[in-house]
């Protein structure tokens, strides 16, 4: 098992990409604390190596407490996956302060709180851990109608690079995964529209949308010792979208 004896936190773990990552980490031998605003649908069936916590990723104190909970429950922390996210389907120039603050709070502030709390813990305890931020191809390319989301994902990429340099002397690795269009609740508007789905697939070199497990496989690699020489990287898992 590739993550045997490792302890991980996964945010946004009750559905979609976060849920797939949490499940795959468990299958690879990790102990996993799964964090989300919504209860995990399988919380009672995940087994003794999983522990589910509900909370808001945009709350700094909730993230500090999450690190403490993982350490109290499983003894230490080796891996953090920041995945909790939200989006607003509107143009930037028509966006209210409230919508802007909400998306920034979850997508960017929440990632900062997680990176800071996990980085401080790992540095203090001399743990050569792995921090993984789930970004998006929309942090690199623009896309109409989800501008705020694009801004936050671009910020996540830079948060990843800058923190990787800060923590490299401590042996702590910080990387990001940039998914393309993945079949999740966030892309339901596309998958429910046959014309939109067909158009998106035609624009993707591999000819299909991705599945959550496509991202989970990449997360296992970055969480494992196999990627011990990888830090500050943005790994694109996008069916070739950004190669065009």
Catalytic site positions: 149
Cβ contact 47:242 at 8 Å: no
Biggest alpha carbon–alpha carbon distance for the chain: 52
- CA dihedral sign, ordered 146, 149, 151, 153: negative
Which residues, in sequence order, are bridge partners of residue 128?
Answer: none
Q: Which residue has the tokens 């403490």?
A: 68
List the strands of the sheet with 130-134, edge to edge: 50-54, 31-36, 7-11, 79-82, 130-134, 173-179, 234-237
Coil vs helix vs strand at 42: coil
Integer Cα distance of 78 and 57 in angstroms:
19
- Overall residue count recorded for the chain in this entry: 244
């Amino acid at each position: 098992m590739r993550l045997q004896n490792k302890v991980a936190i996964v945010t946004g773990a009750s559905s979609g990409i976060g849920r797939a990552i949490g499940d795959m980490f468990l299958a690879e031998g990790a102990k996993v604390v799964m964090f989300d605003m919504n209860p995990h649908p399988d919380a009672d069936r995940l087994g003794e190596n999983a522990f589910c916590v509900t909370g808001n990723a945009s709350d700094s104190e909730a993230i500090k407490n999450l690190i403490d909970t993982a350490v109290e429950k499983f003894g230490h922390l080796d891996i953090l996956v920041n995945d909790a996210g939200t989006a607003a389907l509107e143009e930037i120039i028509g966006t209210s302060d409230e919508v802007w603050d909400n998306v920034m709070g979850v997508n960017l502030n929440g990632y900062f709180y997680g990176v800071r709390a996990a980085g401080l813990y790992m540095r203090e305890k001399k743990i050569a851990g792995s921090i993984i931020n789930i970004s998006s191809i929309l942090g690199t390319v623009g896309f109409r109608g989800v501008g705020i989301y694009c801004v936050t994902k671009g910020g996540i990429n830079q948060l990843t690079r800058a923190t990787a340099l800060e923590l490299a002397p401590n042996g702590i690795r910080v990387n990001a995964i940039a998914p393309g269009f993945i079949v999740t609740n966030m892309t339901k508007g596309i998958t429910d529209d046959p014309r939109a789905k067909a158009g998106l697939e035609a624009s993707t070199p591999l000819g299909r949308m991705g599945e959550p497990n496509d991202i989970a496989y990449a997360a296992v690699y970055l969480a494992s010792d196999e990627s011990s020489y990888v830090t500050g990287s943005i790994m694109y898992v996008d069916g070739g979208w950004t190669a065009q």
